[in-house]
Amino acid sequence: MDMVWELMRRQADYQDLHIQVILHLITLTPEDKKPFISQYWGDSWKAFCVNQEWLPPSHVSLKVNDALYDDFCDYVKWKKRTGASIQAWVRLMSLEVIPSSIIEYFTLIITSLETARTEASEELFDCIFEWLLQMFRALSPNTYIGEIDVVIGEKMIDWRIFLTTTFPQSSTRFKLLDLVDIIERRKSKNISTR
């Protein structure tokens, strides 16, 4: 499982294949050993949350314009692996490999996003907003998260004002438009399937 997880973090484009491997390993596992798999993923998820791994560690600078080459490489590596982890957790939760709630996961990220907005940290806000966007992209269209759509709809005005007034040149505004588009498509799909 460690090897598959590391591959998921390094090769986000192949996560569907990695998840098939995980599901296959679960089916091959004897019933008396399956609790170990659940515990592995549960413990890994708890560590991710407790350590807030979606936030940059102290050795990673988000100010890439001022960074030295090595610092920039650390930033890019951290950002790619974190983005892949963000997507992987959503996919694993959608398939119920992890018994945790997707709504709780979205709430953690939205709370961090609100903290970055309150602290007026454009770099952190942009980074976490990208994670939120990746979570939506990795989410199965049939997964119900209506409560989160409502929360984000309410926050959207604050986020737009924050970006317009505090950081008028921010490229995050385009990510905001992407998120609005994704949410609207999810709403229309959910309405048409009812």
Residues 127-139: tens digit of each pLDDT: 999 999 999 988 8
In order of 42, 63, 152, the CA distances from 102 in angstroms are: 14, 30, 14
Query: For 39-80, how does the pLDDT look when each residue is reduced to its tens digit (9 = 90+)?
Result: 999 999 999 999 999 998 888 887 766 667 888 888 889 999
Count how many domains the chain has.
Answer: 1
Q: Determine the structural domain holding residue 139 and report its residue range.
A: 2-192
Instruction: Report the alpha-carbon distance of residue 14 to residue 35 in Å, rounded.
Output: 26
> pLDDT at position 64, please?
67
Note every long-range contact of 91-98, with CB atoms under 8 Å and residues 24 or more positions apart, other chains counting: 91/15, 91/16, 91/19, 91/138, 92/19, 92/22, 92/41, 94/139, 94/140, 94/143, 95/19, 95/23, 97/19, 97/22, 97/23, 97/26, 97/41, 98/41, 98/42, 98/45
pTM for this predicted structure: 0.85
- Residue 87 · residue 133 · CB < 8 Å: no
